[in-house]
């Protein structure tokens, strides 16, 4: 399978890419803004089946992304993992911060989906997995400082439901995993000193497994993935 994953330079994306590359039948196409991290990912891939591309989803256009991926012919799985987390109180947040969060967390997903759709139509069981957040999951506890982030992830969840309906006649399944807190660099940068109950590797195991098999029984679902309640 040809599997595209964004935000593969660190944390959950990095670990997920490695796990998917453990299957020699997979070709993992990893995107990130960090060239050094991508080089390390490619070096540690067990089967030499990871292709890496430096790509800033905020700056990139849909045609540019489509051209980058077009050489693969068919894309079986897209994991929209790239994201931005900024801890800023609503009162102190700026329109620029909100725009930056929206451009990364929402428009990055929009661009990737639009770019890969023509390549997914030739796949037998195509699956789009959007990485959301419990912060964007209705009815869960919310935390101060995450209004912009949570709102952007709520948009991703709603977009998932809309895409699943619009693409069902093309047999393209779309699901969203709403993740709870995970020990990643991004989390530590936003909340210094906080230790999450789940490691990036453990969460990556779930995401990799779901990306490969979850769409056989689910479509248009927003799935909470957290060991805490609510």
Query: Over pLDDT 90: what percentage of the chain?
Result: 84
Average pLDDT, the chain: 94
Of the candidates 121, 151, 125, the one whose C-alpha atom is nearest the C-alpha of residue 138 is: 151
Question: To which H or E segment does residue 29 belong?
Answer: strand 27-32
DSSP codes of every residue in 149-205: HHHHHHHHHHHHHHHHHHHGGGT-EEEEEEE---B-HHHHHHSTT---SSBHHHHHH
The pLDDT of residue 183 is above 90 = no
Residues for the chain: how many in total? 230
Distance of CA 218 to the CA centre of its chain: 18
Distance CA 198, CA 13 (A): 15
- C-alpha R_g of the chain: 16
The pLDDT of residue 147 is above 70 = yes
The pLDDT of residue 185 is above 90 = no
Half-sphere exposure of 160 (CA within 13 A, CB side): 31
- The pTM (predicted TM-score) of the whole model is 0.94
Residues 52-101: tens digit of each pLDDT: 999 999 999 999 999 999 999 999 999 999 999 989 999 999 999 999 99
Angstrom distances, CA of residue 89 to CA of 44, 93, 94, 98, 192: 39, 6, 10, 11, 16
Catalytic residue among 53, 72, 149, 206: 149
The pLDDT of residue 16 is above 70 = yes
Q: Tell me whether residue 194 is one of the annotated catalytic residues.
A: no
Helices 200-213 + 11-21 axis angle, to 10: 50
Q: Which CATH class is domain 2-225?
A: alpha beta
Model pLDDT, residue 93? 92
Residues 135-145: tens digit of each pLDDT: 999 888 888 89
Outline where 83-138 has alpha helix (H).
95-102, 108-120
The pLDDT of residue 197 is above 90 = no
């Amino acid at each position: 399978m040809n599997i595209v994953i964004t935000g593969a330079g660190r944390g959950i994306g990095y670990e997920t890419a490695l796990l998917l590359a453990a299957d020699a039948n997979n070709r993992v196409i990893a995107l990130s803004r960090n060239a050094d991290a991508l080089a390390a990912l490619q070096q540690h891939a067990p089967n030499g089946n990871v292709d890496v591309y430096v790509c800033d989803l905020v700056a990139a256009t849909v045609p540019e992304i489509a051209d980058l991926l077009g050489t693969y012919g068919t894309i079986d799985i897209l994991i929209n993992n790239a994201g931005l987390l900024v801890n800023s109180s609503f009162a102190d947040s700026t329109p620029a911060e909100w725009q930056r969060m929206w451009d990364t967390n929402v428009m990055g997903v929009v661009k990737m989906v639009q770019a890969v759709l023509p390549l997914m139509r030739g796949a037998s069981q195509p699956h789009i997995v959007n990485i959301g957040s419990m912060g964007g999951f209705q009815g869960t506890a919310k935390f101060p400082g995450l209004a912009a982030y949570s709102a952007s992830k709520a948009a991703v969840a709603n977009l998932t439901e809309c895409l699943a309906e619009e693409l069902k006649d093309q047999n393209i399944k779309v699901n969203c995993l709403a993740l709870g807190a995970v020990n990643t660099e991004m989390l530590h940068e936003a909340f210094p000193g906080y230790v999450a109950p789940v490691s990036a590797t453990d969460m990556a195991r779930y995401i990799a497994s779901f990306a490969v098999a979850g769409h056989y029984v689910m479509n248009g679902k927003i799935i909470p993935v957290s060991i805490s309640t609510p």
